[in-house]
Amino acid sequence: MAEKFKHAIKKEVIYYLFTLLALALIMHSDLLSNPFLRFHNMYEKGNFSHPFLYSFVIYITILILRKTIDFIIVVFEKK
């Protein structure tokens, strides 16, 4: 049971990191051309938490949708 839980946690962390990366690239396309400048600007402004918070909100929204769809599938498979 612990292995199954570890696997589920790893999968969810990968989903979160993918969400974080996708949102960062969508919102800040300059990360591809000059990432050092983007991180330097973040350091100067001191706004390190906003990417993690925005990604968490989107991740939770996607998680709720995924679990709702999983539930619907399970309900219709039992009938």
pLDDT in tens, 65-76: 999 999 999 999
Tell me how many domains the chain contains: 1
Q: Is 11 exposed, middle or buried (0-12, 13-18, 19+ CB in 10 A)?
A: exposed
Q: Measured in Å, how far apart are the chain's first and last C-alpha atoms?
A: 28
The pTM is what? 0.78
Q: At 50, which amino acid appears?
A: H
Domain of residue 12: give its range: 2-78
pLDDT in tens, 14-61: 999 999 999 988 988 888 888 888 888 888 888 778 889 999 999 999
